[in-house]
Chain A
């Protein structure tokens, strides 16, 4: 026998980084199924283009940093998928690629390998494209028309207004709130898939790939603010349903706010982080220029995350005390 050495422990319990990312990728892939069945192969080509761009950018970044051409983990694929989910299906193929490139090269690579990024890279990438090309990011095709969108090339379509945009104008959307759960609606790729997103969330929480506390507090605070300050003349419950199910709020709650890398390390900190992100999201929805503010809320909460960690550590006495 030729034996090799290894350090203990020789077994482990719970998820590892690869399995956490694997489950996240799986949950994101599931989200592609329904749009592909409805509208043709374009969701798949967008996802492939974005993932490939992120992968190449990661290879480039590693080459510049270490001189070696390698990728250590599937996190660039996750970043690419998240960027695609927050884009409209009719967007040009280069748009999610631009978001992915910014996410990896600007928001992730300068801070080191996976696990060191202070900001959610996908949120940064989508925010970048929203600021540079808002008309492309917030223009949606009307799904009531029977479309099969081309896999490549530009889309020709009639514009539709998303439920989030109608709410922004202070009007009640035509669609019933519960129809937002599972029906084709104008909006980002992940909208109209609330049930699938919720199932994905359950998968991530049960597999230990994500924490449930930030998601729960994020949704709780947005629901509370929606009930207390409805943007349209309706009952509080109707306002909650419209706000939670419109736009990319639910997707962000499950796949972005629960990102363990950017969150505070303690449970208390994570709860505050989720609540803060939810409150900021509603502020951006009420007062912001864009109909979608989730990515900006996530970025702002990420910026505050180290402060939240430090505050919790201070309260628990985890700090250097004067040596007496």
Chain B
């Protein structure tokens, strides 16, 4: 039986209130040149060409938007939803983009749907308050509140597919960038990145040039030089950064700067069962942990491990600090190979 994910405490009100700050590009960066916008009524081919010319990439995984829309067309997607929420406790870029320019997001979504052949569109907002905001601004797109349990995109897609729709998600930034590309010929050279954490004096959403080194961005945001931990990506699925020369990319989304690294001490499993309640696909992480702990596991006992989506909800709720997500991944490899790893 599938679980209900994990509800992470959010603390983004202040960041969202301040809107998106524009960060000037470094002097060494070339001024981006525009290309001719699509004239008249855009058709799927011209939309895809504009996406390619603009160099738009999905902020979720960095895949070029043109390739993504083509694969959605091949999969016969019937409903395309704009992902305008962040179930991460720190990231707030998608919400900020929707609040700043809902018309652009809706337009981009409609264009993307046209390009991939989806008949329906939906704006998945973070909360009912934002759905009401869209309605007040008379945005011509259906909207829904995506729930607050992580992984929210998984649960949203699950509920859409259960109602018979072949649904897919597209990031809010990609939608807005597509609208800019088609209507104004603007290339996608910027990304909205949330900078947060207890070692930053100016946390917020920043629109930065792709390729800007993290060090420059953090200097602008007032990062404490004594901070010992920087991570990129979401709090559940991101990775730590050891070299601040790393450039900002399309899929950076969130940079968290902390005074001390979130080190965890691992204890033995205390049999609370919270991991099972959290897993959205029905893996039983404590059972996997027990099998791996007691020597070479029997692959037949590692059921459902191949369905793991890597959301790390199990690791987030484990009171003993066990890396259950890593163990499920190992178990999936074991089962796949039919051997111990």
Contacts and interface: CB of A to CB of B under 8 A. Distances in A.
Interface of A: 1-17, 19-20, 72-73, 112-116, 211, 260-261, 263-267, 313, 318-321, 323
Interface in B243-257: 244, 256
A319 B262 contact: no
21 contacts: A1-B225, A1-B228, A6-B261, A8-B235, A8-B236, A8-B237, A9-B316, A12-B264, A12-B315, A13-B316, A14-B274, A14-B317, A14-B319, A17-B320, A20-B270, A115-B270, A115-B320, A260-B270, A265-B273, A320-B301, A323-B300
A17 B316 contact: no
Contacts of B161: none
A17 B272 CA distance: 10
A73 B267 contact: yes
Contacts of A265: 271-273, 276, 286
B284 A11 contact: no
Interface of B: 6-9, 89, 223, 225-231, 235-242, 244, 256, 258, 261-265, 267-274, 276, 284, 286-287, 298, 300-301, 303, 312, 315-321, 323, 325-326
A15 B319 contact: yes
Contacts of A10: 231, 235-236, 238, 256, 258, 262
Secondary structure type dominating chain A contacts: loop
B227 A266 contact: no
5 tightest A-B contacts by CB?
A: A115-B268, A11-B235, A6-B261, A9-B236, A320-B300
A3 B229 CA distance: 5
Chain B CB within 10 A, most for which of A7, A10, A318: A10
Contacts of A115: 267-270, 320
Contact of B230 (A1, A114, A116): A1
Contacts of A211: 272
A6 B262 contact: yes
A17 B274 CA distance: 13
Chain B CB within 10 A, most for which of A7, A267, A320: A7
B171 to A, nearest CB: 20
A319 B319 contact: no
B273 A3 contact: no
A120 to B, nearest CB: 13
